[in-house]
Chain A
Amino acid sequence: MDSLSEYFQSYLTALETYDVVAALWVNIQLTFWAGLCSLVLGTILALMRISPVPSFRWAGTAYVNIFRNTPLTIIMVFCILVAIFQLQLNLSSDFNFNFFLWAIIGLSVYHAAFVCEAIRSGVNTVPLGQAEAARAIGLSFLPAARLVILPQAFRGAVAPLGNTLIALTKNTTVATVASVAEAAGLMKTMIEFRPDVIMAIFATFALGFVIIVIPIGLLTTWLSNKLAVAR
């Protein structure tokens, strides 16, 4: 019993030395901004891929195929070593904020490809009659997409979009290669300095992600059932 309470004590001192919540908060911020950017970019890509113009379709398809098949780690390393260090593309004079912004760009560029595919699968849930009706009342491509197809497609795409959001949440840990002060990096530091409580440290961070991820899953499942278009 004694060793157990001792273990617990040293775990507590480790928690006091390092701010786990602040690191997880950085992951949540990355998730929010990258989620927003990739949603916008992904929607544009999806529009391009379903448009009647061949060059738009081709560009959208090429983008998705390239970024979906490239490891996120390469994209992130590219943002740091090439964009920042080699090409000196600085987005902010603040050193750390610059890395943070580039991490958001890397995450957005990668996940936009998955958002695009999620929305496309949403478009697949819209029945033919809807598009035919839109055409029948004289709507051309963009108005039909904006007023008829996309609103229903988004409602049908909530579940795959939720899956992408969850993947994004977990993938924000890759921002550690951009030396953003997030959870994976802090866990490494903590274990290196306090290897005596390695199990408890891992359990803490793992639980942190479970607590972030499970509500997103429950929320999107609920939303997807609530928003599903009755057919």
Chain B
Amino acid sequence: MKIQQSVLFDAPGPKAQRRILATNVLGTILFLGAAAFVLKGLNDQGQLEAELWRPFLTADVWQFTILPGLMNTFKAAAAAIVTSVIFGLMFGVGRLATNRAVRWLCGIVVEFFRAVPVLLMMIFFWLLLGRLQVVEPADTPFFAVVLALTLYNGSVIAELVRSGVYGLPKGQREAGMAIGMTRGQSLRNIELPQALVAMLPSLISQFVVILKDSALGSIITYSELLRGMQIYGSAGPILQALTVAAVLFIIVNFALSWVAQKLSGLLSSRTSGKTRPVSVPTLVAKV
């Protein structure tokens, strides 16, 4: 970012400094004006009334709505993180296998689940599990959320594993071969350990996606944070409830992203791969 700033504009001289200052003042007025316009509009509609916001500062709302909702969000996200890492490792290694049939099969599975919308899978599993009655009816939404998140994010993680191995310098494998390792031995002992360290930051960025997508569970009646707040807000303070929910999500995701960034700096000395979080360079994005 620092380099970029010096790329696009020179160290400004006195005239440019004055111009930047003027634009800056103008910009500040513009953004504050826009914010004031929105707030005034909300105030005119009575949305800024203190009693609409005050409930979210009371222990009751936290105890019975926010914290249980957050707990369920974390429960689904945590379960999905564990299962999708397992899924991703299995299929990522499968895509690197020497056996062509295994490679192809894993490739098809991964590409398929990355192309299908998570919500589509969630609704499908929700209705399917409800029909098969293999789990407690009350737990059906939870399992549907975790299953759908696992299949999609597991596939993305599988791609991360693959691109992590491909991103290593060629010399790593060549060195393995040179000391008499087979292709599989060098993969297991030399390439994968480094690739896994290198992909850790990207992996944590993927956890942010999992956490955000767990909010889709509200559509299939999983009682996570968004759904709890939606129900609470339906009595009136809906704008306030959704804003509080969004702020909570932003705080948690921000913390995760921060960890990812710190890790990428810490880990870069422990691997010959690149630790900067990257998006998977193939067909489907991790957004």
Residues of A within 8 A of B (CB): 50-56, 59, 65-66, 69-74, 77-78, 81-82, 85-87, 111, 114, 123-124, 126, 128, 131-132, 135, 141, 144-145, 149, 159-160, 162-164, 166-168, 170-171, 173-174, 176-177, 183-184, 187-188, 191-192, 195, 198, 202, 205-206, 209-210, 213-214, 217-218, 221
Contacts and interface: CB of A to CB of B under 8 A. Distances in A.
User: Does more than half of chain B's interface fall in helix, strand or loop, or is it mixed?
Assistant: helix
B212 A69 contact: yes
Range, interface on chain B:
35 or more
Contacts of A209: 115-117, 120
A163 B287 contact: yes
A217 B111 CA distance: 11
Given A54-B24, A141-B8, A209-B116, A198 B253 contact: no
A114 B279 CA distance: 11
A74 B128 CA distance: 26
B31 A55 contact: yes
Interface string B108-130: 00001001111111011001100
B115 A52 contact: no
B24 A124 contact: no
B58 interface: no
B138 interface: no
A168 B285 CA distance: 9
Contacts of B42: 87
B39 to A, nearest CB: 13
A112 to B, nearest CB: 12
B249 A56 contact: no
A87 B215 CA distance: 24
B123 A184 contact: yes
Given A66-B250, A71-B249, A81-B242, A164 B287 contact: yes
Given A52-B9, A87-B41, 16 more contacts: A54-B24, A55-B27, A56-B24, A71-B216, A78-B246, A82-B239, A87-B42, A144-B8, A145-B8, A164-B287, A170-B117, A184-B117, A184-B119, A187-B124, A210-B112, A213-B115
20 contacts: A50-B8, A52-B9, A65-B254, A69-B249, A70-B250, A72-B212, A74-B242, A82-B238, A82-B239, A86-B47, A87-B42, A149-B8, A164-B285, A168-B287, A170-B117, A184-B120, A198-B131, A210-B112, A213-B284, A217-B284
B123 A187 contact: yes
A202 to B, nearest CB: 4
A53 B42 CA distance: 29
B281 interface: yes
A160 B286 CA distance: 10
Contact of B118 (A66, A77, A170): A170
A82 B242 contact: yes
A73 B287 contact: no
Interface of B: 3-5, 7-10, 12, 16, 20, 23-24, 27-28, 31, 41-42, 45, 47, 112, 115-121, 123-124, 127-128, 131, 208, 212-216, 218-219, 226, 230, 233, 238-239, 242, 245-246, 249-250, 253-254, 257, 279-287
Nearest to A50: B8
Contacts of A50: 4-5, 8
A174 B119 contact: yes
A89 to B, nearest CB: 9
Given A70-B246, A77-B242, A214 B124 contact: no
A74 B243 CA distance: 9
Contact of A195 (B20, B23, B131): B131
A64 B156 CA distance: 23
A164 B279 CA distance: 10
B249 A81 contact: no
B242 A206 contact: no
B31 A131 contact: no
